[in-house]
């Protein structure tokens, strides 16, 4: 059996892969999905603790001939233990033989590909002239989403940040100011952040029985809202007020409905893959309120991991392990 390449988190981060490259990879993958060239079952999961999850996320992108699986967990109490909320491993396989090619840390992949997927959605659904971006939840995903949105929204000037932990919002504010030279206002309430924004990202922990706070009347005409936390932040009335609802994967969203999520979300959702592939229209009016429900997809992980694998082989990074 051939050796497997092992890449630690430090190995992955040290390759210097750009967010812009990941955005381009994901845009191509979503187009392939819209053309029916992706095999990706809804992710099965186990839930050892309340509001925790451990998911298996397999995908095969036929047009690129890339196959793999991510084994990823989210435990909301972990930060109080000094551990990350999200952790996991990524496995790439040889599509011709099924033999594992690489095992790598999935933390960087999950963070960066999630932001890149938001950027792909924004490219097709947000107004390019938007200047004010709000975050509800200011952890790792806020940073990666800001990095990615700064690539596709060149006129950004202001960030509005809210987190139930003021210290998290303050740390994120410093990041936005130092990394992107943007004005960042730390807001005292979600309403203060959302009412002033043309772009909104909600990035709080995913809860089975949430108490969402984001109201319909806070959403200004022309807004683009991307939810990374299922329906944990956005009220049913706010979803209903959207002129266009879409998801990165409608089939997976319907799968989650069967498990009790998205009960207040209308059943009129378009698929981002269809929009990127040109099979469905995206934003049609500048004043339309658009919401994208981004669940996080295995196709995003495998194409990002494939780029990492190629870069690592070129750079001689990581180490080979015998099975």
Question: Is 123 assigned a catalytic role?
Answer: no
Q: What angle do CA 59, 277, 273 make, to 5 degrees?
A: 45
Say if residues 294 and 227 touch (Cβ distance below 8 Å): yes
| Catalytic residue (choose from 43, 70, 123, 281) | 70
Residue numbers annotated as active site: 70
């Amino acid at each position: 059996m051939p050796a497997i390449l092992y890449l630690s988190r430090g190995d992955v981060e040290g390759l210097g892969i750009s967010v812009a490259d990941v955005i381009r990879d994901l845009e191509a993958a979503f187009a392939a999905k819209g053309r029916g060239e992706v095999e990706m079952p809804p992710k099965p999961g186990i839930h050892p603790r309340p509001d925790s999850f451990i998911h298996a996320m397999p995908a095969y992108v036929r047009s690129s001939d890339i196959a793999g699986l991510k084994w990823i967990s989210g435990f909301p109490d972990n930060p109080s233990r000094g551990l990350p909320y999200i952790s996991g491993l990524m496995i790439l396989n040889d599509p011709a033989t099924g033999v594992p090619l690489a095992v790598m840390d999935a933390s960087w992949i999950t963070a960066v590909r999630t932001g890149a997927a938001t950027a792909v959605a924004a490219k097709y659904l947000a107004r390019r002239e938007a200047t004010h971006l709000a975050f509800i939840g200011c952890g790792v995903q806020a940073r990666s989403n800001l990095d990615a949105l700064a690539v596709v929204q060149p006129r950004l000037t202001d960030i509005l940040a809210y987190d139930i932990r003021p210290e998290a919002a303050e740390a994120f504010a410093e990041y936005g100011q130092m990394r992107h030279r943007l004005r960042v206002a730390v807001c005292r309430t979600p309403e203060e952040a959302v009412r002033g924004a043309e772009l909104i990202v909600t990035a709080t922990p995913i809860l089975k029985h949430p108490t969402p706070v984001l109201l319909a009347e806070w959403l200004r005409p022309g807004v683009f809202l991307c939810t990374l936390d299922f329906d944990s932040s956005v009220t049913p009335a706010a979803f209903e007020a959207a002129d266009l609802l879409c998801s990165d994967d409608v089939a997976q969203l319907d799968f989650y409905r069967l498990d009790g999520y998205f009960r207040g979300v209308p059943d009129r959702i378009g698929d981002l893959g269809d929009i990127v592939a040109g099979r469905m229209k995206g934003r049609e009016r500048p004043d339309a309120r658009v919401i994208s429900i981004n669940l996080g997809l295995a196709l995003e992980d495998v194409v990002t991991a494939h780029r990492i694998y190629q870069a690592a082989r070129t750079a001689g990074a990581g180490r080979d392990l015998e099975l």
